[in-house]
Amino acid sequence: MLAIPVVFLVTLMVFSLMHMLPGDPATVILGQEATPEAVAALRAELGLNKPLPVQYFDWLSGVLHGNLGNSLVDHTPVAQLIMERLPATIELTLGTFIVATLIAVPAGILSAVRPRSLTDYSGTLFALCGMSVPHFWLGMMLIILFAVKLGWVPASGYVPFFDDPLGNLSAMILPIIATGLRESAVLMRMMRSSLLEALQADYIRTAYAKGLKERLVILRHALKNALVPVVTTSGLVVAGLLGGLVITESIFSIPGFGKLIVDSIFNRDFVTVQGAVLVSALLIVLINLLVDILHFIIDPRIKSGKEVG
């Protein structure tokens, strides 16, 4: 159970890093026009005059009592800010992951089964393009095509899923495709190489020798072993998406979690940054746990601690 000290260390690091940043929060929050008295008053109100360890332990004890504090900028409870922003990002992440998997797994299998064929080359080309095309460019192209030219979906206009499910889906479909295509490229390359490796193994030759059909050999025997590194990569991809969709969120004006963190850093809203990073650290611990469980389901040998071939 290393997770608890890890999360604790993350909060300590974020706290220290934020306070190392130049730019006093009171000055940044009040802007150019503020009088020195206003800045001093705000510093006192925000508790910025206290020694740093005191500030950290004040925050930590709040967290242990279930209180993430209030935003330095507009006094909104941080927990509320996070709850407002997290659903959009989780939806975007899940959608992206589904699109990515739907493209990557079949394409990766086809490429690996027929290496150096036309299918393989087109798959590799697709992956190369997917990795190289910047998110923002792809996002804008999708907007031009589907929102401006065809008018099928709105170019922006996020609504929470439970307020208006169809409106939500129509606003989310483009960003999901934009990020999904890119992430599919990452997963596809992993799928291809890992399956290629598995197909070289002795047990595959044995399986063919037993007279099994190719489909069965690939799906039953090779794929199962090949999936382990793919699941690991997927875990990394999902963890990265949770905080790393800032650009997509900006282009499609989706109120996401990544944008909350970035905006809060620029506003020197320490309390919000700390709360948000704490939540993402917890989420990543959770994802790692899920990945471990999936490993165990896919390959029962992992439980006994044996090396996976």
Contacting positions for other proteins (CB under 8 A): 21-24, 27-38, 41-42, 45, 73-76, 81, 84-85, 98-99, 102, 136, 140, 143-144, 147-148, 151-160, 164, 166-167, 169-171, 173, 219, 249-251, 253-256, 259-260, 263, 266-268
Return the number of the residue (131 or 159) whose C-beta is nearest other proteins: 159
Both structure tokens of 132: 């190289």
Q: Which distant-in-sequence residues (6+ apart) come within 8 Å of 123 by Cβ?
A: 107, 108, 110, 111, 188, 192
Q: Which distant-in-sequence residues (6+ apart) come within 8 Å of 70 by Cβ?
A: 76, 77, 78, 271
Distance separating alpha carbons of residues 190 and 207, to the nearest angstrom:
24
Angle at 17 between CA 15 and CA 19, to 5 degrees: 70
Return the number of the residue (10 or 268) whose C-beta is nearest other proteins: 268
Return the number of the residue (133 or 285) whose C-beta is nearest other proteins: 133
What radius of gyration, in Å, describes the C-alpha atoms of the chain? 24
Return the number of the residue (157 or 240) whose C-beta is nearest other proteins: 157
Amino acid of residue 85: R
Report the nearest approach of other proteins to the CB of residue 295 (Å): 19
Q: Which distant-in-sequence residues (6+ apart) come within 8 Å of 306 by Cβ?
A: none
Return the number of the residue (6 or 40) whose C-beta is nearest other proteins: 40
Report the nearest approach of other proteins to the CB of residue 260 (Å): 7
Return the number of the residue (27 or 232) whose C-beta is nearest other proteins: 27
Report the nearest approach of other proteins to the CB of residue 165 (Å): 9
Report the nearest approach of other proteins to the CB of residue 116 (Å): 26
Kindly tell me the sign of the dihedral angle through the C-alpha atoms of 86, 92, 96, 98. Answer: positive
User: How far are the Cα atoms of 94, 189, 299 from residue 229, in angstroms, in the given order?
Assistant: 19, 11, 11
Kindly tell me the sign of the dihedral angle through the C-alpha atoms of 243, 247, 248, 249. Answer: positive
Report the nearest approach of other proteins to the CB of residue 40 (Å): 8
Return the number of the residue (163 or 202) whose C-beta is nearest other proteins: 163
Report the nearest approach of other proteins to the CB of residue 127 (Å): 20
Report the nearest approach of other proteins to the CB of residue 200 (Å): 24
Report the nearest approach of other proteins to the CB of residue 21 (Å): 7
Backbone φ, ψ for residue 70 (5° rounding): -115, 150
Backbone φ, ψ for residue 185 (5° rounding): -65, -40
Return the number of the residue (10 or 110) whose C-beta is nearest other proteins: 110
Amino acid of residue 11: T
Torsion angle of C-alpha atoms 107, 108, 112, 113, degrees rounded to 10: -50
